[in-house]
Structure 1
Amino acid sequence: MNTKNIVACSYVEGSDKKFTGVEASTGNKLEGEFSTATQQDIDSALNAATAAFNVYKNTGNFKKAAFLTAIINELNAIGEVLVARAVQESGLPLARLQGELGRTTGQLKMFADLLEEGSWVEAIIDNALPDRKPLPRSDIRRMLIPIGPVVVFGASNFPLAFSVAGGDTASALASGCPVVVKAHAAHPGTSALVGEAIVKAAKQCDIPEGVFSLLYDDAYEVGSQLVKHPETRAVTFTGSYKGGMALVKLAQERKEPIPVFAEMGSINPVLLLPGALDTSAESIAAKYAGSITLGAGQFCTNPGLLIAVKSASLDVFKTALVSAIEQVPSATMLTKGICENYHNLSKNILAENGITVLAESKVTNAELINQSAAKVVEVSAATFLSNPKFQEEIFGPYSLLVVADDEAERLAVVKALEGQLTVTLMAADNELAQYTELVSALQNITGRIILNGVPTGVEVCAAMQHGGPFPATNDSRFTSVGATAVYRFVRPFAWQDWDNALLPDELKNGNPLNIWRKVDNKWTKD
């Protein structure tokens, strides 16, 4: 494992300031010293990215797809070593990270397939109408083109799927944009292994060296400088509200403001409708005990809010949920800071008026550090509406049950909610017909509504929407998961009255790439 910074696919020393990876469950230092990137490294990486962009943006789709496929092959070749290091640095279970590696390579494959099919560029052609009266129409052809170097921030809770070769990197590379990754300080070794795989793939495929760089820092300075750098054209981030908004502010203060695509989490409300509780209270409780505590609750889609109307069936649900939560073993959280923050926030919320502890699990691995303890607490709807603190995300195995006196009060709770990544409805067959106003209100505050499932577990596919109204994300028009994540890094561009031979293949007469195009307002492959 090479622990040096990667600048334009080459290894450089970095500064004299060094740090090591740490085993999440013990606090022991792990193999390898990592050097904080210097300002020269930052400048070199982004200047090289800009130079490479002028070549890479015109690289054919099949060559870019081959590059993504080569990354897949390199990751699979080191899969066992990579997953073992990720287990140490994150404290996440082996099976979870094996699955995450599959998700990471699956994302790369999805974008490779997108490139090979080619229609994602949204080619539009309006042929010239020289005889149109009173004025002729020019020949105008439009498609999406990449915007330039993208800075990607690795995420703490997905050391593979939202990190160096994760969905942000994969979608940016697919769009034709070079990438400079700021490695997350909690998993530098994992990042180094993945970075080496990307470098090997780039060299195999004769990709311009400036297309990929990987920089280290165990603080905030390198990340800040990357966002402020004049050559940066977009930024992606997955993490806390505080961190995301700090990057948004930096980007807006630049001489040339740039887009930041910040996914900042949410509390993902779950509405327990009476018909569902009447028929399935105990099974729903078991399902949600698992979802609340999955991965020590360290998901941006963790169900942090349950909303129900008081009833005998709700009492059955509560009893079953308490029993299930109390049996959940503790788990290692990602970092010391995340663990401390979870315990402090959950302790502080219990000091608020009107809150009751329903269930709390015990630490079962006392010999390990950074252990979670699941908590489910309860407040009345009136109390919830009176205190905005109850809407704040507590990152970990925590959920708040809000109990309304009637449906009108539940609707008031829903209308008071901030933007969310997901909302879930637990409903009996045909029950939703009675709740059209509720469903409409929910649609206004989220990017995805789930019916009779759990929010944890985000499918990687073309239809996925992983983003929602502020503060879940800062731009709800886009997704950070799925094939359409590529649209964060492109802009529309039109050619007017150009000779056919000078146009990109996507817009040429005869459709040489055989893609779907909108020609004179009709979708066709002709």
Structure 2
Amino acid sequence: MMITGELLIGFETIRGRNGELWAIEAATGERLTPSFGGALPSELERACALADAAYDLLLNTTPAERARFLERIADNIIAIGDELLDRCVAETGLPRARVESERGRTVGQLRLFASVLRDGAYLDIRIDTALPYRQPAARADIRLRPIGLGPVAVFGASNFPLAFSVAGGDTASALAAGCPVIVKAHSAHPGTSELVGRAVQIAVRDCNMPEGTFSLLFDSGRQISQALVADPRIKAVGFTGSRTAGRAFMNIAAARPEPIPVYAEMSSINPVVVFPGALAARGQAIGKDLVAALTVGAGQFCTNPGLVLILKGDGYDDFKTAVADALRVTKAATMLTPGICKSYRAGVEALESHRGVDLIARGTSGGPFQGQAAVFETSAQDFLEHKDLHEEVFGASTLIVRCADLKELRAAMRGLEGQLTIALHVDENDFEAANDLIPLFERKAGRLVVNGFGTGVEVCSSMVHGGPFPATSDSRTTSVGSLAITRFLRPVCYQSFPEELLAKELKSENPLDLPRRENPFS
């Protein structure tokens, strides 16, 4: 499949005429061919018009039809083969094994939502049949089903070029809900984005979905991205990236004549809390495992453990020694982009020069586009006093906060913003203290992990990848797992409808054989 640098608008491929952008080889900083044309406002208009026209048609597709569509996308992505893997490795600097794993997760998400559609429980269909003889007042026939919100704008993420990008979780869940999707490709991996986008475009045609079901745009600046969120035909936004960009999209969406939801994942330092019993029993092992979790993927995970709160006591010296020993032999890793590498180095330098912060150890040095892992230490008092120590450093860096007692640990945790994950390392004699703190942890994060780290995000029905602001813009939702589909649905009630006007999901004979709640409280 050839990479041409073109926009994908419905069934068309068009060379964007609004400037150009280039993919950069992450390991060398050199340009990769071809160049990619940025979209003009007229090309955005075309994509939005097609998506708006497709919406009504998608409303009439069945869950089974959309399930086949998602599975075809998955098959098409696999069929690209080595070309996709090679381009993704070049554009991101990620190891090939990681890219292969992420491709598996991407097609797995698509197939998960196909299963969700066939199961039908996500619809939560409710039917309260008429009670014409009820006294003192009759009840009309009332039925409920959810429908897709409308066209959705999805912004690809830098750190997951497949699983959180063109055909990633936001796109998969929006398409499953029956929403057309317009993706703004991430500038860090445009070639990868085009290859996957073509796989989706082919599936749209082969599965007889309406033309505007999917479009892929490139933006040579910020104009098209901002205009996409502002367009009145867009009804929701899926975004993974920086807090600055996420807040900008939230502000645009809120200022529209019709405000819309922005489901943005933005910032999290994912605290790790080490309790005294666990520290004394296995401090050395926890330290070694921390470094492994910290440095996977060059630390460029949104669930990376960027903070450790620890009650200093027996086992602390063993813990620190294990961290230092493991870190010193950890090789520097190529980061996603030269810009991300530069920002990471600036963040590490700020910590190293910060009053009250001590360097424990650094990994081996590397090339100009590689991040050198680092672990720092400070006291709870300094951590509480300096709010800048709470900020995320995107990469393989973490700050250990020494807490004198549970009171200090609680105070440090209370001062934190919302998080995606909190990990607890406990032994049996820590259970009482942990139980006392769990309500606070629940207020701060969307996922709690015991005796592990949050870096592994399983795609399943019970996963929550979300949390209070600024981890995400809406703590009631998740961007990973089957529950993600609910972000792009809204309930509609049908009262006193004759059978001839009801959607198939609501007809009395249940032709789609969907699970339904009928007269549950009558």
TM > 0.5 fold call: yes
1:487 aligned residue: 486
Aligned runs of 1:78-157 on 2, under 5 Å?
78-157=80-159
Letter of the structure 1 residue corresponding to residue 198 of structure 2: E
**Deviations 1:98-123 (Å, cap 9, x if unpaired)?**
00000000000001111112221110
Aligned runs of 1:90-489 on 2, under 5 Å?
90-364=92-366, 366=367, 369-429=368-428, 431-489=430-488
Distance in 2 between residues matched to 1:231 and 1:435, nearest whole Å: 48
Letter of the structure 1 residue corresponding to residue 447 of structure 2: R
Determine if contact 1:142/1:493 at 8 Å carries over to the other structure: yes
Distance in 1 between residues matched to 2:247 and 2:369, nearest whole Å: 27
Q: 1:243: how far off?
A: 1.1
Distance in 2 between residues matched to 1:121 and 1:64, nearest whole Å: 14
Pick which of 288-297 and 497-506 moved more.
497-506
**Deviations 1:147-202 (Å, cap 9, x if unpaired)?**
10000000000000011111111100000000000000000000110111111111
Pick which of 500-509 and 267-276 moved more.
500-509
Candidates 26, 44, 47, aligned match of 2:46: 44
**Deviations 1:190-239 (Å, cap 9, x if unpaired)?**
01101111111111111111011000024211111100111111111001
SS in 2 for 1:145: strand
Distance in 2 between residues matched to 1:92 and 1:270, nearest whole Å: 25
**Deviations 1:22-57 (Å, cap 9, x if unpaired)?**
100001111211100000010000011000111012
Number of equivalenced pairs? 520
Distance in 1 between residues matched to 2:339 and 2:39, nearest whole Å: 23
Distance in 2 between residues matched to 1:145 and 1:214, nearest whole Å: 24
Determine if contact 2:279/2:314 at 8 Å carries over to the other structure: no
Distance in 1 between residues matched to 2:351 and 2:376, nearest whole Å: 9
**Deviations 1:75-95 (Å, cap 9, x if unpaired)?**
111121101100000000000
SS in 2 for 1:448: strand
Distance in 2 between residues matched to 1:265 and 1:506, nearest whole Å: 39
Letter of the structure 1 residue corresponding to residue 504 of structure 2: D
Q: 1:453: how far off?
A: 1.0
Letter of the structure 1 residue corresponding to residue 74 of structure 2: I
Q: 1:511: how far off?
A: 2.6
SS in 2 for 1:378: strand
**Deviations 1:293-335 (Å, cap 9, x if unpaired)?**
1111001000000001111311210111111111100000001
Determine if contact 2:422/2:441 at 8 Å carries over to the other structure: yes
SS in 2 for 1:488: helix
Letter of the structure 2 residue corresponding to residue 339 of structure 1: C
Letter of the structure 2 residue corresponding to residue 236 of structure 1: G
Letter of the structure 1 residue corresponding to residue 421 of structure 2: T
Letter of the structure 2 residue corresponding to residue 456 of structure 1: T
Distance in 2 between residues matched to 1:195 and 1:85, nearest whole Å: 14
Distance in 2 between residues matched to 1:242 and 1:495, nearest whole Å: 41
Determine if contact 2:47/2:215 at 8 Å carries over to the other structure: yes
Pick which of 308-317 and 418-427 moved more.
308-317
Distance in 2 between residues matched to 1:143 and 1:417, nearest whole Å: 39
Determine if contact 1:79/1:101 at 8 Å carries over to the other structure: no
Q: 1:522: how far off?
A: 6.3
Determine if contact 1:179/1:211 at 8 Å carries over to the other structure: yes
SS in 2 for 1:312: coil
Q: 1:13: how far off?
A: 1.9
Distance in 1 between residues matched to 2:115 and 2:521, nearest whole Å: 24
Determine if contact 2:150/2:179 at 8 Å carries over to the other structure: yes
1:9 aligned residue: 11
Letter of the structure 1 residue corresponding to residue 344 of structure 2: Y
Q: 1:281: how far off?
A: 1.1
Letter of the structure 1 residue corresponding to residue 186 of structure 2: H
SS in 1 for 2:402: strand
Q: 1:430: how far off?
A: 5.5
Distance in 2 between residues matched to 1:434 and 1:507, nearest whole Å: 50
Distance in 2 between residues matched to 1:209 and 1:7, nearest whole Å: 9
Q: Is 1:511 matched up with 2:510?
A: yes
Aligned runs of 1:46-61 on 2, under 5 Å?
46-61=48-63
SS in 2 for 1:33: strand
Letter of the structure 1 residue corresponding to residue 222 of structure 2: Y
**Deviations 1:486-509 (Å, cap 9, x if unpaired)?**
111110100001112321222221
Letter of the structure 1 residue corresponding to residue 298 of structure 2: A
Q: 1:346: how far off?
A: 1.7
Letter of the structure 2 residue corresponding to residue 518 of structure 1: R
Distance in 1 between residues matched to 2:325 and 2:93, nearest whole Å: 26
Distance in 2 between residues matched to 1:437 and 1:276, nearest whole Å: 16
Which 5+ residue runs of structure 2 have no aligned equivalent?
none
Distance in 1 between residues matched to 2:405 and 2:4, nearest whole Å: 61
Identity %: 45
Determine if contact 2:39/2:220 at 8 Å carries over to the other structure: no
Determine if contact 2:85/2:96 at 8 Å carries over to the other structure: yes
Pick which of 128-137 and 296-305 moved more.
128-137
Q: 1:16: how far off?
A: 5.0
Distance in 2 between residues matched to 1:189 and 1:206, nearest whole Å: 26
Distance in 2 between residues matched to 1:33 and 1:57, nearest whole Å: 37
Distance in 2 between residues matched to 1:265 and 1:519, nearest whole Å: 42
Q: Is 1:68 matched up with 2:92?
A: no
Determine if contact 1:265/1:301 at 8 Å carries over to the other structure: no
Distance in 2 between residues matched to 1:460 and 1:223, nearest whole Å: 28
SS in 1 for 2:371: coil
Distance in 1 between residues matched to 2:11 and 2:118, nearest whole Å: 25
Question: CA 1:502 to 1:284, structure 2 compared with 1: closer, same or farther past 3 Å?
Answer: same
Determine if contact 2:157/2:165 at 8 Å carries over to the other structure: yes
Which 5+ residue runs of structure 1 have no aligned equivalent?
none
Determine if contact 1:118/1:513 at 8 Å carries over to the other structure: no
SS in 2 for 1:521: coil
Determine if contact 2:351/2:376 at 8 Å carries over to the other structure: no
Letter of the structure 1 residue corresponding to residue 82 of structure 2: E
Q: Tell me the TM-score normalized by structure 1.
A: 0.97
Determine if contact 2:239/2:264 at 8 Å carries over to the other structure: yes
Q: 1:73: how far off?
A: 1.1
Q: 1:271: how far off?
A: 0.4
Distance in 2 between residues matched to 1:520 and 1:26, nearest whole Å: 64
Letter of the structure 1 residue corresponding to residue 359 of structure 2: V
Letter of the structure 2 residue corresponding to residue 486 of structure 1: I
